[in-house]
Amino acid sequence: MKIKKAFALPFAIMVMFIMGTLGVYSMYISSQTVNLIVDEDVQVQLELYGDSAEELSLLWLSESKQRSQKNSDINFSFEGGRYNFRVLIWDVNIDHVQESNGTVIMDILGETIVTGETKRITKRVVRKP
């Protein structure tokens, strides 16, 4: 009889160890899932604000006084500075390409800081204002 009673304590310790390990592992998985969802949301927001920065740059270029500048560097902020974008604009009149209708190349660089990490997006487009 004493042998059976002595087995209860090691068995209880083993069960508590397994339950604790499963609890820690489930907390880790849930925190990684939350981080993945936040990262995906931020990426979508960066892409949408990147499209907005592209359209605002085209609007800026459509003004006659701004069009006289050959190369431009424009900065945009969304949501009170949470999402920052820099748009670099070049005319296509380079070397052997003679474009007369105002086509430009735009490099759109966006970044935001979420949970201590900097998320970035880069995009190059060729547009005609």
Give CA–CA dist 124/88, Å, rounded. 9
Q: Tell me what pLDDT residue 16 has.
A: 95
For residue 52, the tally of other CB atoms under 10 A from its CB is 14
Hey, what are 38's tokens? Answer: 């936040």
Q: Which amino acid is at 48?
A: L
CA 67, 51, 90, 82: dihedral to nearest 10 degrees?
A: 90
Q: Tell me what pLDDT residue 1 has.
A: 47
Percent of the chain with pLDDT over 70: 80
5-60: pLDDT as tens digits: 677 888 899 999 999 999 999 999 888 887 778 778 888 888 899 898 888 888 88
More confident residue, 68 or 102: 102
pLDDT band at 100 (very low <50, low <70, confident <90, very high): low
More confident residue, 69 or 40: 40
